[in-house]
Amino acid sequence: MDKHGIDISIVSTANPWLDFLTSKEAPSLARELNDDLEAYCATGPSLSSSPLRRLYGFGLLPLLPDVPTSEITSIVEQIGSLSHLKGVIMGTKGVGKGLDDPALEPVWEAIASKGLVIFLHPHYGVPDELFGDIENGHVFPSPSASHSKLRSLLLAHSGGALPILSSRLASCIAHDPLVARRLKHDARHYLGMLYYDAVAYGAPELSMASAAAGRGPNYAADAAKATDGIDGWSALGSQRMMFGTDHPFFPPVPGVADTEAKWASVTENLAAIQAVPGWSEADKEGVRSGNAIKTFGLA
């Protein structure tokens, strides 16, 4: 952080799942890891001339099929009680059947009641059973579509393929009689309700993701004339983007780069933010810090 001029980081485990453990082991380890992360952040350095610490974190949940929902929601309560944990990090597998699994409903409610941010990270692969027992149950699963009290849902990797495929997905949903009436709004509307890390490594990718987010209000069922044009959408969507680094992945490769040099995962993502056309300096500063300060309540 010092090498790259980063004042505050919100850290987490690299891969946010405990499904390599048994259902008996995972809850106790999740609690222990959350307590350890809280202590690590609380005893870390503070920001000079500020009551803020330099480290905050995302808590872990024991998302395994055989873990009782009451145990998971109890750990949400634990995370909500730890002042240096600002949210939870989850994989897209949920408890085994994806994010639209009814078993997760109490979990979303508990997270919403604590005002926690959800950092959603893709899990490994998409096994057939993830599509669930309900026909078309997997189409555009989004807790934000049904849980308006969820404070923030933050997608890793700038939303991955979702922004570029969002119009195609919206068309698929609109033309499928089994799901066409399931959502209140056009699917593209919901992209404007999400947050995205800005770990895309390129200005065109950031511009695309932010434009997809920024045009979301245009697709509300009752939308009046809203912001128009890609630059306008991108500027509006910049308010949903937050700088990230991919740390601890991608350090300089020995023999290829100077191992004492700054990490490309930091410098390239900062350069990408600076180069996005249509973003004002205020927009860029928001992506670098202001949006996260507001979203995570660090002001």
**Cα–Cα dist 202/196, whole Å:** 14
Is the whole model's pTM more than 0.85, yes or no?
Answer: yes
The number of beta carbons lying within 10 Å of the beta carbon of residue 80 is 18
Sequence-ordered list of residues with C-beta below 8 angstroms from that of 197, at least 6 positions apart, any chain: 154, 155, 156, 157, 158, 241, 242, 243, 244
Distances (CA, A) of 114 to 39, 107, 145, 191: 20, 11, 18, 23
Q: Note down pLDDT in tens along the chain; length 299 residues.
A: 999 999 999 999 877 789 889 999 999 999 999 999 999 999 999 998 888 999 999 999 999 999 999 999 999 999 999 999 999 999 988 888 888 888 899 999 999 999 999 999 987 765 556 555 555 554 555 555 555 556 689 999 999 999 999 999 999 999 998 888 888 899 999 999 999 999 999 999 999 999 999 999 999 888 765 656 788 899 999 999 999 999 989 999 999 989 899 999 999 999 999 999 999 999 999 999 999 999 999 98
pLDDT of residue 180: 85
Which sign does the torsion angle of CA 60, 62, 65, 68 carry? negative
pLDDT of residue 92: 87
Q: Which domains does the chain have, with CATH numbers?
A: 9-295 (3.20.20.140)
